[in-house]
Amino acid sequence: MKTVVENVTCTFCGCLCDDITVEVEDNRISRVRRACANGRGIFLDYDPTPKKPTVAGREVEWEDAVAAAAEILVRADSPLIYGLSSSACEAQRKAIELADLIGAIVDTTSSVCHGPTGLAMQAVGEPTATLGEVRNRADLLIFWGCNPAASHLRHFERYSLNAQGTLVPNGRRDRTMVVFDVRPTATAKAADQFFQVLPDSDFEVLAALRALVQGKEIESDSVGGIPLGRLRDLTERMKACRFGVFFMGMGLTMSRARDINVRELFALTAQLNEFTRFIVIPMRGHGNVAGADQVLTWQSGYPFAVSYARGYPQYGPGEFSAVDVLVREEADAALILASDPVAHFPHAAAMQLKRIPTIVIDPVVNLTADTAQVFFPTCCYGVDAEGVSYRMDNVPIRLRGALPTVRPTDESVLDAIIETVKRC
């Protein structure tokens, strides 16, 4: 029998598109509508069949795997809990409770994503708004160091470029789109104006724009490879728009100056509010990485790179961030929740993760799970479990499960580990 489930949320990226329709046959999703090429695999390629956990590559009963995981964590002097961003807030809360209990370092994929954005936010604040406001009001969209045409495929349609809104009823015709990037991406091709920045020159261009907004003179003919006249024209356009938005991405956070780039962009955004309404929204990658920031902040006071080793939360990007503690060989065990650092960390950090006992909780066998001492194959929030995730604009979205929950949830596995650790 075929059933149709509407308004399912895709959890692949921070867009959290909540208008997906799926068809279910024989407890598998057989068809998906409206999901993009990046997200449809979450539904179509996921096999919800219950599987047993493994210890040292051999299938065991769930309680035995929980006991093995608890033993690893209790024996460790400096355990690391990492990931969190593709799980639901309910499980993130449990992961932090476990970190508090065992005195672990807890870090999320934010540290290799928008961690520098968090540092900038703490330094200068973040003038922001929801994607709903962008959809209904924004007439100037500036994408800086991000490529939604490859990473957030429905962003234009649902929230920005092509969306029709209350004050922009004609969608694309009512909006101007500008792109700053070091290369002419597919996103740049959709723009009215493309500014090709020389590599590692974003800070200089942003500083120049801040100066021009303040009416200061710049002696150079060009900045960061961009003629000054073009930057002057853009400055006037930014000041004259009705509602402007910066969408910013890894082009700023992963290149030289990292958080300093973002701080300059946030300061520019604040400055533009002397003339008009201007906001900035980071293009969050993982489906609930914004939720990981939220949950860790409400639990510990800090958004990522937190150590509970002293019995209270300490914040330390560079000190307690996952790549750093792995490369310095400080972590002697790791619990990885819903992420794949072996695939996405620098090689040296990935190799160290393979050398220490690792526990992985994830719906699928990824490169990290492949080498884990203990692996828990859990359900996938938004597909076969309910939960809450935060969209890139920090709006919480309730996830509906399209399939019945048969596998254990991340939350229930973490809860079982916590209870076992307490008895050790």
Binding site for another protein (CB under 8 A): 12, 37-38, 40-42, 44-46, 107, 111-112, 115-116, 119, 147, 150-151, 153, 182-185, 196, 199-200, 250-251, 253-256, 258-259, 285, 304-305, 317-319, 321-324, 326-327, 340, 342-350, 364-367, 370
Closest CA to 120 of 13, 235, 246, 214: 246
Nearer to another protein, 1 or 37 (CB): 37
CA distances from 366 to 20, 75, 113, 285, 322 (A): 25, 25, 19, 18, 18
Looking at residue 110, the DSSP 8-state letter turns out to be G
Nearer to another protein, 362 or 410 (CB): 362
CB 406 → another protein: shortest distance, Å? 20
CB 106 → another protein: shortest distance, Å? 13
User: From the CB of residue 4, how many other CB atoms can be counted at a distance below 10 Å?
Assistant: 11
Nearer to another protein, 274 or 329 (CB): 329
Residues 6+ apart with CB under 8 A from 62: 52, 53, 376, 408, 416
Burial (CB count <10 Å: 0-12, 13-18, 19+), residue 421: middle
CB 151 → another protein: shortest distance, Å? 4
Q: In this structure, are residues 243 and 277 in contact, taking their beta carbons and an 8 Å threshold?
A: yes
CB 218 → another protein: shortest distance, Å? 24
Closest CA to 357 of 374, 338, 378, 382: 374
Nearer to another protein, 151 or 235 (CB): 151
Looking at residue 224, the DSSP 8-state letter turns out to be T
User: From the CB of residue 59, how many other CB atoms can be counted at a distance below 10 Å?
Assistant: 12
Nearer to another protein, 40 or 391 (CB): 40
CB 378 → another protein: shortest distance, Å? 17
User: From the CB of residue 169, how many other CB atoms can be counted at a distance below 10 Å?
Assistant: 10
Looking at residue 172, the DSSP 8-state letter turns out to be G
Nearer to another protein, 129 or 365 (CB): 365
Q: What tokens were used for 175? A: 């909006």
Place of tokens 């510990």: 300
Nearer to another protein, 61 or 329 (CB): 329
CB 173 → another protein: shortest distance, Å? 26
CB 423 → another protein: shortest distance, Å? 34
Nearer to another protein, 232 or 344 (CB): 344
- Count CA within 13 A, CB hemisphere, residue 158: 19
79: left (phi over 0), alpha (psi -120 to 50) or beta: beta
Q: In this structure, are residues 315 and 305 in contact, taking their beta carbons and an 8 Å threshold?
A: yes
Closest CA to 80 of 54, 66, 99: 99
Closest CA to 286 of 232, 326, 344, 332: 344
Q: What tokens were used for 112? A: 């290799």
Nearer to another protein, 38 or 176 (CB): 38
CB 262 → another protein: shortest distance, Å? 10
Nearer to another protein, 385 or 414 (CB): 385
CB 67 → another protein: shortest distance, Å? 28
What is d(CA 112, CA 44) in angstroms, rounded to the nearest whole number?
Answer: 28
Nearer to another protein, 67 or 119 (CB): 119
CB 217 → another protein: shortest distance, Å? 29
What is d(CA 319, CA 308) in angstroms, rounded to the nearest whole number?
Answer: 13
CB 74 → another protein: shortest distance, Å? 27
In the chain, DSSP finds a helix count (H) and a strand count (E) of 18, 21
